[in-house]
């Protein structure tokens, strides 16, 4: 959920901006209509990177082997509003904090208004892990 919070914005931007800039450089928008680029993000988790690329107009498919990530992504993309939800991710950990307030830090999410309901550029699939393992054995 931190991927969708303001508290992680700097960390997220530091990591994602390089990927996004490479996508823009390798697959410029002016050629997009001619070649119809499709971007696959394997292991997308709750897929903030996919959302950022869809906002730029790219056709994105995210997949992950954890069904929980799919449920969370569906909730964020289709049912939640800006700052409507919050979690306390450190509530059960009492070590490695400077003070008690850090343990009770609240993260609100999502930090943007999301409207992908009428957008055909985003697709999410979850892949069951045991199917992937069985496929790799053969």
For residue 57, the surrounding DSSP H or E stretch is none
Phi-psi sector, 86: left (phi>0), alpha (psi -120 to 50), beta: beta
Phi-psi sector, 80: left (phi>0), alpha (psi -120 to 50), beta: beta
Per DSSP, 4 falls in state: G
Residues of the chain predicted below pLDDT 70: 31-35, 116-138
At 119 the pLDDT is 62
Q: Are 56 and 16 in contact (CB under 8 A)?
A: no
Per DSSP, 120 falls in state: T
CA dist., res. 96 & res. 138, Å (int): 44
CA angle 10–11–12, rounded 5-degree value: 90
At 35 the pLDDT is 59
CB atoms within 10 A of CB 41: 17
> Where are the domains positioned within the chain?
2-137
At 87 the pLDDT is 87
Q: Are 62 and 50 in contact (CB under 8 A)?
A: yes
């Amino acid at each position: 959920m931190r991927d969708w919070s303001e508290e992680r914005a700097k960390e997220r931007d530091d990591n994602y901006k390089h990927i996004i800039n490479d996508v823009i450089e390798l697959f410029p928008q002016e050629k997009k209509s001619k070649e119809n680029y499709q971007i696959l993000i394997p292991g997308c988790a709750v897929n903030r990177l996919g959302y950022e690329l869809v906002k730029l107009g790219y056709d994105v498919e995210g997949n992950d082997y954890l069904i929980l990530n799919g449920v969370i992504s569906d909730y964020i993309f289709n049912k939640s509003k800006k700052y409507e939800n919050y979690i306390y991710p450190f509530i059960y950990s009492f070590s490695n904090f400077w003070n008690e307030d850090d343990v009770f830090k609240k993260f609100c999410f999502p930090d943007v208004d999301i409207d992908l309901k009428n957008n055909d550029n985003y697709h999410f699939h979850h892949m069951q892990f045991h199917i992937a393992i069985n496929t790799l054995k053969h």
